[in-house]
Amino acid sequence: MTTALVLLCALLGLLVGSFLNVVIYRVPRGESVVKPRSRCPGCGNEIAPRDNIPVLSWLLLKGRCRHCGEPISFRYPAVEVLTSLVFASMALRFGWAWVLPAFLYLGAVGVALALIDLDVKRLPDVLTLPSYPVGAVLLGGAAIADGDAGLMVRAALGALALFAFYFLLLVIYPPGMGFGDVKLAGVLGLYLAYLGWGTLIVGGFLGFLLGAVVSIGLMLVRRAGRKSKIPFGPFMLVGAFLAIFIGQPLADAYLRTLGL
């Protein structure tokens, strides 16, 4: 049954990833993600449903528009595959649990936010802010269904704690991050604390660790300088994703080394 769920979520991820390509392109431009239908940027022809099948259409068309031959970026199928892998991973992590839809949503919005931040160095409020009520409803429903409403108390405290921590960092050193990172921190705190305090702490730490390692690496290969602005949102999101799987075990192992 778990295999069937993983395959189902992987397929769902491909479909959601196709939509996320639209979100990633249009949201930073302030455009509707519903209208108009997707068109080729080269010739302006509307993309037919047969040419909009995730991954498969790109392969069959050999990465080019059917009408004008304009190259179609490899990024489109890459986003679809990435979203599929994220969804499948969440299915493996949680199985047939009430909380799975909440983390599928986090996976989808996380992929969109990470790539938008890489593109325009901004985390749009139109994606971040609705994630608070959506996350609260999905996680709250799961907590009630599992008979442990106290999980939402911890989740709310975690959201407040991580938001406050990032806000303090912003006040201390404004060039270090944007307020979009602060707002994203609250969302991640909500989800990570739902799983446990150890998951929250590890997820927060991994974001900074990954950011530091990549930044140092870019400076070593001279792709960035000390004053270069590197978007931090993707590191926060990858750190949170890793913590969902290994956060609590790492925290427990660390406490055992301290004899606690």
Q: Tell me phi and psi for residue 64, to 5 degrees.
A: -135, 155
Cis (ω within 30 of 0) for the bond into 36?
yes
The answer, yes or no, to whether residue 228 has pLDDT greater than 90, is no
> For residue range 112-140, what is the model confidence (pLDDT) as tens digits?
999 999 999 999 999 999 999 999 999 99
* Per-residue pLDDT, 35: 84
Taking the C-alpha atoms of residue 22 and residue 26, their distance in angstroms, rounded to an integer, is: 6
Give the bridge partners for 46, in sequence order.
Answer: 39
Q: What angle do CA 32, 36, 39 make, to 5 degrees?
A: 115
The answer, yes or no, to whether residue 257 has pLDDT greater than 90, is no
Taking the C-alpha atoms of residue 88 and residue 247, their distance in angstroms, rounded to an integer, is: 19
> For residue range 78-99, what is the model confidence (pLDDT) as tens digits?
999 999 999 999 999 999 999 9
Long-range contacts (CB closer than 8 Å, 24 or more residues apart) made by 176-181: 177/232, 178/122, 178/123, 180/117, 180/122, 180/123, 180/124, 180/125, 180/128, 180/233, 181/123, 181/232, 181/233, 181/236
* Per-residue pLDDT, 91: 97
* Per-residue pLDDT, 259: 72
The answer, yes or no, to whether residue 244 has pLDDT greater than 90, is yes
- In three-state secondary structure terms, 49 is helix
Model confidence band, residue 225 (pLDDT cutoffs 50, 70, 90): low
The answer, yes or no, to whether residue 56 has pLDDT greater than 80, is yes
Q: Where do the domains of the chain lie?
A: 1-84, 97-260
- Give this prediction's pTM: 0.93
Q: Mean pLDDT over all residues of the chain?
A: 92
| E strand or H helix at 218 | helix 197-220
